[in-house]
Structure 1
Amino acid sequence: MKHLPILIADDDEDDRFLIKAAFEECGSTIPLFFVQDGLELMQYLNNENAYADANVYKQPSLILLDLNMPKKDGREIIQEMRSNSNFKAIPIVVLSTSNAPSDIKTCYELGANSFITKPSSFEGLLEIIKNLQQFWFVTASLPQ
């Protein structure tokens, strides 16, 4: 089955590199698109500016969302997506350095589907990516 892309929003260049490397290490064939902040994420979803070509920038099957980003943070993105009928069904997995109970609670209250604290090692990230792929692309059914 051909999957729609995963959209990854993270303002940290090193984290984007490690996430991409972890997907590659896991043998993933799912297309990945990266954005650097919440504003860019919404431009992607709305096919605006650099993301105008809807044939290239397809609606994602899943969003991996960093919480603390410039322009629009993860909380604002969750709220904006969940209030828009075009985007409310797209699963959002928060992948953040935060493990604060208040951040976790807020994200779930706003409509995040999952909250994962970024691990401190690449091996930990590999395990998370393996589990994400298994759950979201094998076990769960996603909207098309």
Structure 2
Amino acid sequence: MSKQVMLIEDEPLHRKLYTIWLQLDGHTVHSVADERLAYLEAAKIRPDVIITDIRLVHLDGREIISTLKARQDTNAIRIVALTVLDTNEIEEACYKAGADVFLNKKVGREALLAAVRHP
């Protein structure tokens, strides 16, 4: 099933790669390069899934997750936390913030697509 996906990723190469993977799987991707626009874009687009990097330039991804989950207009959106940080503390912090899925960027295409495809 095709989904509307909002991708919050400040690294251009990763943003392009994930966008291609998602589009080839049939999803519509709305990329957000500046995470400060995430709240406005999420409310406007109302995506099925938000994928957010954790290490961003202006905001911490965990802050984005907790704010989106606290807002009535975005709290039901599935959120995938995606990061190169690979510690139990980071994973627990992402889930505590409200992430539905935690993925390390090393997991690859199929794991990312499975997280998006999940009902």
User: TM exceeds 0.5?
Assistant: yes
1:41 correspondence with 2:38:
yes
**Structure with larger Rg:** 1
2:77 maps to: 90
Amino acid in structure 1 at the alignment position of 2:28 = P
In 2 relative to 1, CA 4–23 (structure 1 residues): closer, same or farther, beyond 3 Å?
closer
> Scaled by the length of structure 2, what TM-score is found?
0.88
1:72-104 Cα distance to aligned partner (Å, 9 max, x none): 221111111111111111010001111121111
Which residues of 2 match residues 52-131 of structure 1 at below 5 A?
A: 58-119=45-106, 124-131=107-114
Residue 132 of structure 1 corresponds to 115
TM-score of the pair, normalised by structure 1: 0.74
Whichever structure has more helix as a proportion of its residues is 2
Deviations 1:44-66 (A, max 9, x none): 1233xxxxxxxxxx210000110
RMSD over aligned CA atoms reads 1.7
The count of residues paired between Structure 1 and Structure 2 equals 119
5+ residue gaps, structure 2: none
Following the alignment from structure 1 to structure 2, what is the Cα–Cα distance between the partners of residues 93 and 78? 9
Instruction: Please name the residue that 2:26 is paired with.
Output: 29
CA distance in 1, matches of 2:115, 2:49: 10
- How far has the Cα of 1:133 moved from its partner? 4.2
What is the SS of the residue equivalent to 1:11? coil
Structure 1: where are the runs of 5+ without partners?
Answer: 48-57
For the structure 1 residues 133 and 67, does the alpha-carbon distance in structure 2 shift closer, same or farther, using more than 3 Å as the test?
Answer: closer
CA distance in 2, matches of 1:109, 1:130: 23
In structure 2, what is the Cα distance between the partners aligned to 1:114 and 1:64? 9
Q: Which amino acid aligns with 1:12?
A: E
Describe the shift of the 1:88–1:31 C-alpha distance in structure 2 as closer, same or farther (beyond 3 A).
same
Structure ranking higher in strand proportion: 2
